[in-house]
Amino acid sequence: MIVLAAGVVAEVVAGRSATTRSDLLRTTSWQVLLETGDQALARGDAPSARRAYMTALFRARGERSVLGMLSAAEGFRTLGDREVVERALTMAAALDPAGEADALPMAAHDRR
């Protein structure tokens, strides 16, 4: 929220319109989206968690972050969605042809 508030103030000072929610979603990193998914899961909101993890997966792919993609896969594993886990792992492997992702722990997104 602090980042959003700072962004809104900066936009107003610069004479532009305030940042919309859709702008925030486009600029949010995969880490924040994973946290959002984790929070949704903790409160029992699986559909919101799934959306956040899916957005994180594709955001991480766009940022070419193997760690982010593996972390999103872990979120889907927690949800019990094996099909998406397999697809996420395939996507991560495509970005990491050297196989360096194998050295990363599957629970890499555990930021606690």
CATH code assigned at 63: 1.25.40.10
Does 98 map to a domain?
Answer: yes
In a domain, 12, yes or no: no
Is 4's pLDDT higher than 90? no
Backbone angles phi, psi at 77, to 5 degrees: -65, -40
Taking each continuous run of H as one helix and of E as one strand, the counts in the chain are 6, 0
Q: Please report whether residue 86 resides in a domain.
A: yes
- The count of domains in the chain is 1
Q: Residue 51: which domain range?
A: 29-103
pLDDT digits (tens, 9 = 90+) for 43-102: 999 999 999 999 999 999 999 999 999 999 999 999 999 999 999 999 999 987 665 554
Domain-embedded: residue 66: yes
Helix, strand, coil shares of the chain as percentages rounded to 5?
70, 0, 30
- Structure confidence at residue 103 (pLDDT): 43
Q: Are 105 and 71 in contact (CB under 8 A)?
A: no
The closest alpha carbon to 108, from 55, 72, 63, 79, belongs to 72
Q: Which of the two residues, 4 and 95, has the higher pLDDT score?
A: 95
Question: What is the pLDDT, as a whole number, of residue 105?
Answer: 46
Cβ neighbours of residue 77 under 8 Å, at least 6 residues apart? 85, 106
- Scan for tokens 């532009």, then name that residue: 16
The two structure tokens encoding residue 102: 């194998």
Give the closest residue to 111 by CA, choosing from 59, 86, 74, 77.
Answer: 74
